[in-house]
Structure 1
Amino acid sequence: MRTNEIADILSKPTSQELLHRDLTRLAYVATDGTPRSIPIAFTWNGTEIVLCTTRNSPKLPHLRANPMVALTIDTEVHPPKILLLRGRAELDDVDGIPEEYLQMNGTYGMTAEQRVEWEAEVRSLYDGMVRIVITPTWVKLIDFETTLPSAVEELVRQRAERQSA
């Protein structure tokens, strides 16, 4: 997919809404060849998806061995809104707590006092983290109003052909 096509899709209001949600599902292939899919907090910085994890996270050796990933960000209502992304995970080991980690956990319902306590706990627990940075190389937005899954689009086209014959 070309960069301008990706940018066009990601700039749509529905995509922007989805890119500001709390969780994505990260899919990757483990070193034993089996698939993994995990929910994980994320933030969108305008060009990249940023995830943060502990330095001892079990997913890191797998991502180092095969950095190709897929992400799904979606809603729980009907009709669902779904943003599918693919890209390559770049791992960035950082000292301290990345600002993105604090941002991505800022939307949970915490009082100001709870937030101070949570942040103090995080800072005392982690001496560093790994930023997982994903630049989208392929995206698809499905909103069931203007866009559909490709298999459904094909069925709609086939139905139209049958009806016009």
Structure 2
Amino acid sequence: MRKSRKGAGGGSGDENKMPPKEQRQWYENALVLTVAGSIIVVIGQLAGTIIPIMYGPEDISDFSITANPVDIYVKHSEQTESNLLSYANVEIKVDDFHPYLRPYRYYIYLKILNYPKGTELTTLGLQKVGVGGYSILDIAIDKDITFFDEPMEIQGIGEDGKTHNITIYLSARW
């Protein structure tokens, strides 16, 4: 008769096998670790960006100025001979950098710093615009004047002293 050696060594050799999936610890599952790590990274990124904006220094709130169009081409025509002027207009828009977290709560004053010779501005002197608002700049150009890509600088000055500039370019030809 043959005797098995089961009793002598103490087991069937299953001690080195991995436990079934249901019995594994949570940290042994790669998917759980990947998802948990991703969630921690996302929370860290949000905390690193939103918290400094919401609770940081007050000067994080700011505005920007955009112009539409930036390049203005005016073609003098025969009809301008009676008026002696050609006209163009530009929409100047003021936007908020952080409208929900740290909104800019001041008015912005728009003014023209320089413009080409032979150009008259018919509307924009020193206009007060709120954030999210816009102003229309009407430009009249003498019909005897021709130029190409002359810069015209517009400045926005916030009531708190912040300033931003934008440059538009004018061209006038026959």
Bucket of the pairwise TM-score, normalised by the shorter protein:
under 0.3
TM-score, structure 1 length as denominator? 0.26
TM-score, structure 2 length as denominator? 0.25
Q: Which has the higher helix share?
A: 1
Larger radius of gyration: 2
Relative contact order: is structure 1 or structure 2 higher (C-alpha 8 Å, sep ≥ 6)? 1
